[in-house]
Amino acid sequence: MSDTSAISVARATIDEFTGSTPAEIDGVFRRLAAEFQADGSLRPDALAGIPALLDALDTVPPAHQARLALLLGLLAEAAGPDGGFPAHEAVRAGLDRYLRLLSDGGTDAGRGAALFFLLGHFPEDGERILAALPGTGVDRDDLSRLARCLQPWETADAATRWNLGRVFPSPAVWGLTEQERATAPALDQWLGLPAERTAELWATETRALLAYSGAKAVWACEHGATVSPFVVPAPEEERTAEPSPAADVLRGHARAVRCPRCRQPLAGGAEAAVCTGCEAVFPSVDGLLDFHDQPSGPSDPLLAGRYERGLRAGFVRIMGANWGGWVSLDDEDAYLSEHVRPVEGPVLDLAAGAGRWTRVLARSLGEERVIALDLSAEMLAQLRAKLDRVLTVRGSALELPFEDASLGGVNCWNALQAIPDPERAIREVGRCLRPGGTFTVMTFRQAADPLYRQFQSRLERQAHRGSFDPEQLTGWLAGAGMTVRDLSGPGNFLFVTAVKA
């Protein structure tokens, strides 16, 4: 197609969009977006139509401007056939327009969110963009995210580089104190990364922040203002005394726990468990029974403390499309209280992390009945500080250290998508569950909207975490001998309860 023909087609589609009514706007916009790009790739001849998109910004109402800004942001990062970003400069040519719209303010939440997503693609103009922000009413969360996206690794100062690994979903969410800054290790100490990898990680984090901004913009264009940035969870109850050491590291669960190597019973002592078959020794350090072959390795000690209000909250917002606060922590707690119906035997909190939902299980079932398993020693240390009577196990979801049909119930909350082989993990759960035992899951479905799915899948690629097709997930559960009793959830949430046949 010639440039003239491409411009003619683009203008016809743009004219249809600019004349669309509120009832038509979202459907027409998606057709317009699909004409210019698809799943992060630039359509042939899309470059020729970008000037017409820029011109339209000056004449359409705020709701239409919001969607055009969103599309221009997608085009700025859309890949060409050679892997580059051929539309970046053509979109950047509209910077004066974008800043003018930003300074105009207004009450359209979608326009503000879309402009922040769009402006985050121009670090070469970072100083100019940030200088235009005072007086625009931008909140601290959005501002810190935009400032980080506009900061290239090459020019970042030492203090900014120190925050590498501590920025999602925005640097403001982390809110590190001066004491934490003084005591936390430097990046190369806690991640052990060689110097040449840090710039790559910086770029990866920038893409994740842009995915967050883009997903927020899609939602805000259609629904208006999002809920307030984040609600910090209430302080947890502290133990009034030091955890008492257990005489037996298996804490009364010897009938259920097995050697992950040979499946033989274990003999528990005060400091380790020893396999009665292959004689492997599994140490217990500070109450953590370690079944994993590989060391936990260095990690950021600040992560566990910031997980709930930072990483998890941001991840749930994108993956679940929870920008309107459809699902609260109380809703999650209520689902567990209603649907966890264990039969006889211990209840496993699989991929327990720092123990937020382990506590829910422990409150209703008793700490002595609950086992918490995770790969992160740091997360489990946080859990142990609050739930010292829970058996804490460091192990793999792909090789559960439990006897066949030994567990009364299993819970896996906001974690199945993070397991490298979720189908295999489900088979392991099915193997270990007793007949009638429940398996409760909170995870995410693939977004039905192809535009929103671009941001959801982008975060999946960055974080190596996936979403699920409900039919596929149901099939995996059936293959593991479980029947789905409940499959529900608003937005892109998937709440699942399955029962072992």
pLDDT one-digit tens code per residue, 307-324: 776 788 899 999 999 999
For strands 37-38 and 41-42, give the pairing.
antiparallel
| String of DSSP letters for 102-130 | HHH--S-HHHHHHHHHHHTT-GGGHHHHH
pLDDT in the model for residue 417:
94
pLDDT in the model for residue 124:
97
Query: Are 192 and 323 within one domain?
Result: no
Query: Are 204 and 311 within one domain?
Result: no
Query: Are 312 and 434 within one domain?
Result: yes
Higher pLDDT, 462 or 150: 150
pLDDT in the model for residue 344:
97
Q: Stretch 409-423: mean pLDDT, rounded?
A: 96
Q: What percent of the chain has pLDDT over 90?
A: 69
For residue 350, what pLDDT band results from cuts at 50, 70 and 90? very high
Domain annotation covers residue 255: no
DSSP three-state, residue 260: coil
List, in sequence order, every residue forming a beta bridge with 400; answer none if it has no partner: none
Distance CA 71, CA 91 (A): 10
Residue 316 structure tokens: 């749930």
Query: Are 336 and 413 within one domain?
Result: yes
Mean confidence (pLDDT) of the chain: 89
Query: Are 209 and 307 within one domain?
Result: no
pLDDT in tens, 452-471: 999 999 888 766 678 999 99
Tally of domains in the chain? 2
pLDDT in the model for residue 162:
79
Where is the domain boundary, 223, 243, 263? 223
Distance CA 220, CA 320 (A): 15
- CATH code of residue 310: 3.40.50.150
| Angle between the N-to-C axes of helices 195-223 and 140-149, in degrees from 0 to 180, rounded to the nearest 10 | 140
Where is the domain boundary, 183, 208, 223? 223
Domain annotation covers residue 256: no
How many residues belong to the chain? Answer: 501
Place of tokens 């899609």: 218
Query: Are 303 and 401 within one domain?
Result: yes
**In this model, does residue 144 exceed pLDDT 50?**
yes
Higher pLDDT, 333 or 185: 333
In this structure, of 83-92, 162-171, 430-439, the range with the lowest mean pLDDT score is: 162-171
Q: Stretch 179-184: mean pLDDT, rounded?
A: 70
Place of tokens 């409150």: 363
Contact in structure between 77 and 40 (CB atoms under 8 Å): yes
pLDDT in the model for residue 146:
96
Domain annotation covers residue 145: yes
**In this model, does residue 298 exceed pLDDT 70?**
no
Distance CA 113, CA 189 (A): 36
pLDDT in the model for residue 174:
84
Domain annotation covers residue 36: yes
Distance CA 403, CA 264 (A): 8
Which residues neighbour 462 within 8 Å (Cβ) at sequence distance 6 or greater? 204, 207, 208, 211
**In this model, does residue 1 exceed pLDDT 50?**
no
For residue 365, what pLDDT band results from cuts at 50, 70 and 90? very high
pLDDT in the model for residue 257:
97
Place of tokens 């057709």: 31
* 36-71 CB burial, b ≥16 within 10 A, e <16: bbbeeebbebbbbbbebbbebbeebeebbbbbbbbb
DSSP three-state, residue 212: helix
Q: Stretch 179-196: mean pLDDT, rounded?
A: 65
**In this model, does residue 443 exceed pLDDT 80?**
yes
Query: Are 95 and 209 within one domain?
Result: yes
For residue 240, what pLDDT band results from cuts at 50, 70 and 90? very low
- CATH code of residue 39: 1.25.10
Distance CA 196, CA 185 (A): 19
Residue 224 structure tokens: 């208006």
DSSP three-state, residue 336: helix
**In this model, does residue 418 exceed pLDDT 60?**
yes
Domain annotation covers residue 171: yes
DSSP three-state, residue 44: coil
Query: Are 80 and 212 within one domain?
Result: yes
For residue 295, what pLDDT band results from cuts at 50, 70 and 90? low
Contact in structure between 398 and 461 (CB atoms under 8 Å): no
Phi, psi for residue 451 in degrees, rounded to 5: -70, -50
Contact in structure between 56 and 13 (CB atoms under 8 Å): no
Query: Are 373 and 491 within one domain?
Result: yes
pLDDT in the model for residue 239:
53
If we measure between CA atoms, which residue out of 478, 408, 431 comes closest to residue 260? 431
Query: Are 289 and 211 within one domain?
Result: no
Query: Are 338 and 483 within one domain?
Result: yes
In this structure, of 146-160, 190-204, 280-294, 403-417, the range with the lowest mean pLDDT score is: 190-204
Domain annotation covers residue 272: no
In this structure, of 180-184, 351-355, 391-395, 464-468, the range with the lowest mean pLDDT score is: 180-184
Q: Stretch 393-397: mean pLDDT, rounded?
A: 96
If we measure between CA atoms, which residue out of 412, 216, 443, 441 comes closest to residue 317? 216
407: containing domain: 284-500
Query: Are 72 and 205 within one domain?
Result: yes
pLDDT in tens, 220-236: 999 998 887 666 555 55
Q: Stretch 260-276: mean pLDDT, rounded?
A: 94
Q: What percent of the chain has pLDDT over 70?
A: 88
Highest mean pLDDT out of 113-127, 186-200, 292-306 = 113-127
| String of DSSP letters for 445-482 | BPPSSHHHHHHHHHHHHHHT---B-HHHHHHHHHHTTE
Domain annotation covers residue 315: yes
**In this model, does residue 490 exceed pLDDT 50?**
yes
Distance CA 115, CA 72 (A): 9
pLDDT in the model for residue 140:
86
Domain annotation covers residue 412: yes
Q: Stretch 383-389: mean pLDDT, rounded?
A: 92
Place of tokens 């937005």: 491
Which residues neighbour 269 within 8 Å (Cβ) at sequence distance 6 or greater? 248, 249
